[in-house]
Structure 1
Amino acid sequence: MEFERDKTFLTGRFKSVGFAFKGAIKLISTEHSIMVQTSAAVLLVIAGFYFDISHEEWLIQTLAIGLVLGIEGINTAVEKVADFIHPEFHERIGFIKDISAGAVFFAAMAAIAIFSIIYIPKI
């Protein structure tokens, strides 16, 4: 079976969104780190309603949640590709995976700072 590109703009975009949604569901349902982070995101959304955060705080919180989940998704993809290419331990593959995990760490630390700035004064 050969890949056939969809040549129409609108149906091609709908297919792309469908693939993206399918990927997000796979990510949330199979990766434990994403499950934990998604649960934390849900709790933060509930906290946002409870503490009645401002419009600007909602924007920043939403951006922080999206950043962490997006970077974690990229990290997961890098790890899966690395494991596919070289299933056994390899020093260079480990280095690449560590750098990818480091990117998640930076995003998570920024998100923690943002959530602290939003919620500590309200508690």
Structure 2
Amino acid sequence: MKNTFIGKRLMAFKYAGRGAWLLLKNEASIQVQAVIALVVTVAGFYFEITATEWVLQFFAIGLVMATEGANTAIEEIANFIHPERHPKIGYIKDVAAGAVFFAAVIAIVIGCIIYIPYFG
């Protein structure tokens, strides 16, 4: 079954799950994002947000976590290829971190759009 289309998809899913676990286990930034995701999920139940708000909230959570995971992978590759400090590697890592920044800002805006009305 390992060499079938379905078998290969199942193995890919297994590897992706392992990667997600490794991120959660080893990366402080992902751990912080996971705690924030848990807090806003609890807040969503508490405030009984709408289905559309749930979709936006989960989109924002997924966007930040996925971008953070890609950033971590880019940093690990860069460190592996060139362990010493190098301006081009620094630039690559800064650009990857900038992508996380954009995702986080959008997530904060989405969170404000969802939750500020519940406090008003």
TM-score (normalizing by structure 1): 0.94
Q: Does structure 1 residue 108 correspond to structure 2 residue 104?
A: yes
Matched residue SS, 1:89 = coil
Map 1:1-123 → 2, pairs under 5 A: 6-123=2-119
CA RMSD of aligned residues (A): 0.6
Q: Percent identity?
A: 52
Which residue type is aligned with residue 81 of structure 1? I
Equivalent-residue separation in structure 1 for 2:99 and 2:57 (angstroms): 19
Matched positions, count: 118
Structure 1: how far apart are the matches of 2:47 and 2:12? Answer: 36
Tell me whether 77-86 or 8-17 shows the greater mean CA deviation.
8-17
Runs of 5+ unmatched residues, structure 1: 1-5
Report the alpha carbon displacement of residue 61 of structure 1 after superposing the two structures with TM.
0.4
> Take 1:15 and 1:26, find their aligned partners in 2: how far apart are those partners?
16
Structure 2 runs not aligned, ≥5 long: none
Q: CA deviation at 1:7?
A: 2.9
Q: Secondary structure of the residue that 2:3 maps to in structure 1?
A: coil
**How many angstroms apart in 2 are the aligned matches of 1:88 and 1:56?**
47
SS of residue in 2 equivalent to 1:24? helix
Query: Under a length normalisation based on structure 2, what TM-score does the superposition of the two structures give?
Result: 0.97
Partner AA of 2:6 in structure 1: L
CA distance in 2, matches of 1:100, 1:42: 25
The amino acid that maps onto 1:36 is V
Instruction: Give the AA of the match of 1:83.
Output: N
